[in-house]
Chain A
């Protein structure tokens, strides 16, 4: 079964840091371009960033609101995707999904992990 499972969410104070993880299974993780998408409570979807496969240089792209604060990385040996979030702000409060289109026309999304930034 193709699956993505996020973890690492929780409560953090403004200015704090958190690292989210996403475990992939059932597909060739190393070939997949992986993305993070977030959804603030009651709001729409917002793309956070992506990391290409290592065969495509493994480069990263980020949305403007998180650039310079968030870092996406991957460990293909462990089939793991990470999102390091620093200098967290209240506006970063959201449900964070990892997702990939691992094959043409086939998306997989995790169930999401909730991050709450509050003093």
Chain B
């Protein structure tokens, strides 16, 4: 059971837009920056979004992040078949057992 809640799967057609939600609490998302990662099969995770909505160099503007209260959202527009991957949100949790926490991951299928 992950501290951050993501939908197990989402799907959309090529060219469409998809959003992935990440729900937490005041001890994590509510008071800390959120990052998003993409993991292609058999590879290490790659940073897509940091500080809620900032894109690292080289990440196309098809990827965007937002945060409101204790939830965060990753949006991907202009879906491509190469976007099929697992997506994870992550943030620091400032509760008694402080540490970095990840969502359970969302499998994106491009139909």
Instruction: Report which A residues bind B (CB closer than 8 A).
Output: 35, 37, 44-47, 49-50, 61-64, 97, 99, 101, 104-107, 109-112
Contacts and interface: CB of A to CB of B under 8 A. Distances in A.
Given A105-B56, A107-B56, A109-B44, A45 B99 contact: no
A109 B44 CA distance: 6
Interface of B: 2, 37, 39, 44-47, 50-51, 54-57, 86, 88, 90, 97-105
B88 A107 contact: no
For A45, A49, A61, A105, which residue has the most chain B Cβ atoms within 10 angstroms?
A45
5 contacts: A47-B100, A49-B99, A101-B50, A106-B57, A109-B45
Contact of B98 (A45, A61, A97, A112): A61
A45 B50 contact: no
Contacts of B100: 35, 47, 50
Contacts of A61: 98-99
Closest 4 interchain pairs by CB? A109-B44, A47-B100, A107-B47, A44-B105
